Amino acid sequence: MSGQVAIGEAPGIEAIEGIARAAMARLPAAFAAHLGDVVLIVEDYADDETLAALGIEHPLDLTGLYHGRPVGEKSSMDSGGLPDRIHLYRRAILEEWIETGVRLDDLVAHVMIHEIGHHFGLSDEDMHALEDAVDGPSA
């Protein structure tokens, strides 16, 4: 089965992408409606150019990145550009997972929601509220 991980094996790109897409599927409809054109890209690491542009020295220090213009800043005059993209960086996410002991699905959802928040131009407080909405009531 695709996306499943064997015992002792690090989750691969497909597994991380599956967790991220599941988090997206739990978003409130008002948010999900505006994500249809956003491309999700899961890679092992950010490339050197991205790290340099952000002033980040080590690739394990970047778990995710949003490329694009927030929804509120878009214009009908925008055309011909690349689609908005959310990048998740698997190795950095796995490193944080090991260091923190947070459940992997919770961590991936957290990073995904943070990057989605950038797409909507949300504040950190709004991103936490959105994350709570995705997580649902505690069991």
Q: Which two tokens stand for residue 89?
A: 């960086």
Percent of the chain beyond pLDDT 90? 45
Q: Where along the chain do its domains lie?
A: 13-70+82-135
Task: Place 34 in a pLDDT band, splitting at 50, 70 and 90.
Answer: confident
Question: What one-letter code names the amino acid at 70?
Answer: P
What pLDDT is stored for residue 2 in this prediction? 47
Burial 96-112 (b: 16+ CB within 10 A, else e): bbeeeeeebbebbbbbb
- Tally DSSP H helices, then E strands, for the chain: 6, 3
Q: Which residue has the tokens 């999900």?
A: 32
Q: The domain 13-70+82-135: what is its CATH number?
A: 3.30.2010.20
Indicate the pTM of the whole model: 0.79
Other residues' Cβ atoms within 10 Å of the Cβ of residue 39: 12
Whether the pLDDT of residue 114 is over 60: the answer is: yes
Q: What is the pLDDT of residues 56-79, one digit of tens each?
A: 999 999 999 988 876 655 545 555
The radius of gyration of the chain from alpha carbons, rounded to an integer in Å, stands at 15
Which of 39, 8, 16 is CA-nearest to residue 92?
16
